[in-house]
């Protein structure tokens, strides 16, 4: 006979607490919701529901994965972003609230600039940014590039699930390196947006184990000073902008001054820094030269 929900959740909580998971109560319940297909309300209304033995084993296996540091989102293979469900796995970064702030700022720009019709998302990962913008602006054309073929497969899956696949062109490219061979010679954009890797290489080892041991390092490591990708974007992007176009970048909370200087040296103007919901510098907006 299976255990009841009331009996099972404390077992999960105990394992996660011993494993050092800070949100052990919330994660224990979330994993049971996922395993048996109940929402929060149904969980609380069915404390005496007996969970089948194979579901108990499935739940405890997921609990063990979480206790060993596997992010909850990789176990459930989902993360909500801008109010929508996105599929995620170990090939893509887990979309975060800070990137929602970047996406919202870009959406404000597109809404105000009525003539804008082409957008490029560099390092698209799960496709969270480009799919969210494509849903909001069905009349625009989008291109999404990522160096990882595995990441692009996740992004394409999300685009299809959100009904945006027909308006997004996906290209495997290390930033701009392969865009020409991908058939984009001469193509220009009204908006280029990116959440590039920006963690200093030496700081990777000090990240939370969930990030350090499980999220793709290539999507985190920004080089010795964390600024390698900003230099490349500033240097190479100008050939892909239309007149009066705009660049939006996510940055680390302490990188505003350095990234601003990189952009200014590359000829960008009207450089503005915006903060995320926690009050930290997080977004840079700039206009390319010409």
Is 76 part of any domain?
Answer: no
139 shares its domain with 176: yes
Is 140 part of any domain?
Answer: yes
What is residue 187's predicted lDDT score, i.e. its pLDDT? 81
277 shares its domain with 211: yes
Going along the chain, which residue ranges are E strands?
Answer: 79-81, 84-86, 118-122, 141-146, 168-172, 189-194, 241-250, 269-275, 281-287
What is residue 29's predicted lDDT score, i.e. its pLDDT? 96
112 shares its domain with 199: yes
R_g of the chain, CA atoms, integer Å: 21
Structure tokens at 165: 């696949």
Contact of 146 with 173, CB cutoff 8 Å = yes
- What CATH code is carried by the domain that includes residue 267? 3.40.50.150
Beta bridge partners of 286: 247
What is residue 217's predicted lDDT score, i.e. its pLDDT? 95
189 shares its domain with 247: yes
What is residue 98's predicted lDDT score, i.e. its pLDDT? 94
* pLDDT less than 50: residues of the chain: none
Please state, in angstroms and rounded to a whole number, the distance separating the CA atoms of residues 139 and 162.
15
* pLDDT digit string, tens, across residues 205-238: 999 999 999 999 999 999 999 999 999 999 999 8
What is residue 184's predicted lDDT score, i.e. its pLDDT? 61
169 shares its domain with 28: no
What is the number of structural domains in the chain? 2
36 shares its domain with 122: no
63 shares its domain with 178: no
137 shares its domain with 231: yes
Structure tokens at 216: 């793709």
What is residue 185's predicted lDDT score, i.e. its pLDDT? 61
Q: Nearest-CA neighbor of 289 among 259, 257, 265, 256?
A: 265
What is residue 289's predicted lDDT score, i.e. its pLDDT? 83
Q: 3-state DSSP: the chain helix, strand, coil percent, rounded to 5?
A: 45, 20, 35
138 shares its domain with 226: yes
45 shares its domain with 139: no
Please state, in angstroms and rounded to a whole number, the distance separating the CA atoms of residues 271 and 221.
24
User: Range of 20's domain?
Assistant: 5-68
What is residue 114's predicted lDDT score, i.e. its pLDDT? 82
């Amino acid at each position: 006979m299976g255990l009841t929900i009331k009996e099972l959740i404390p077992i999960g909580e105990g394992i996660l607490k011993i494993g050092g998971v800070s949100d052990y109560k919330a994660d224990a319940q979330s994993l049971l919701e996922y395993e048996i297909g109940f929402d929060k309300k149904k969980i609380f209304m069915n404390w005496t529901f007996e969970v089948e033995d194979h579901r108990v084993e499935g739940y405890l296996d997921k609990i063990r994965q979480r206790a060993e540091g596997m992010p909850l989102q990789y176990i459930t293979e989902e993360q909500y972003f801008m109010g929508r469900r996105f599929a995620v796995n170990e090939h893509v970064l887990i979309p975060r609230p800070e990137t929602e702030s970047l996406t919202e700022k870009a959406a404000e720009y597109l809404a105000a600039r009525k003539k804008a019709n082409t957008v490029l998302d560099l390092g698209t990962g799960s496709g969270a940014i480009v799919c969210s913008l494509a849903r909001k602006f069905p009349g625009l054309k989008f291109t999404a590039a990522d160096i990882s073929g595995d990441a692009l497969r996740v992004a394409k899956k999300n685009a299809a699930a959100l009904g945006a696949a027909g308006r997004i062109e996906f290209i495997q490219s290390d930033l701009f390196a392969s865009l020409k061979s991908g058939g984009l010679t001469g193509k220009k954009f009204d908006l280029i947006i990116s959440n590039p890797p920006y963690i200093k290489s030496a700081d990777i080892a000090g990240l939370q184990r969930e990030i350090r041991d499980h999220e793709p390092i290539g999507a985190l490591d920004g080089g010795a000073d964390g600024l390698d990708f900003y230099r490349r974007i500033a240097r190479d992007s100008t050939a892909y902008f239309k007149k009066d176009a705009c660049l939006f970048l996510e940055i680390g909370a302490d990188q505003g001054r350095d990234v601003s200087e990189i952009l200014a040296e590359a000829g960008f103007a009207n450089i503005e820094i915006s903060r995320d919901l926690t009050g930290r510098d997080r977004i840079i907006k700039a206009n390319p030269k010409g």
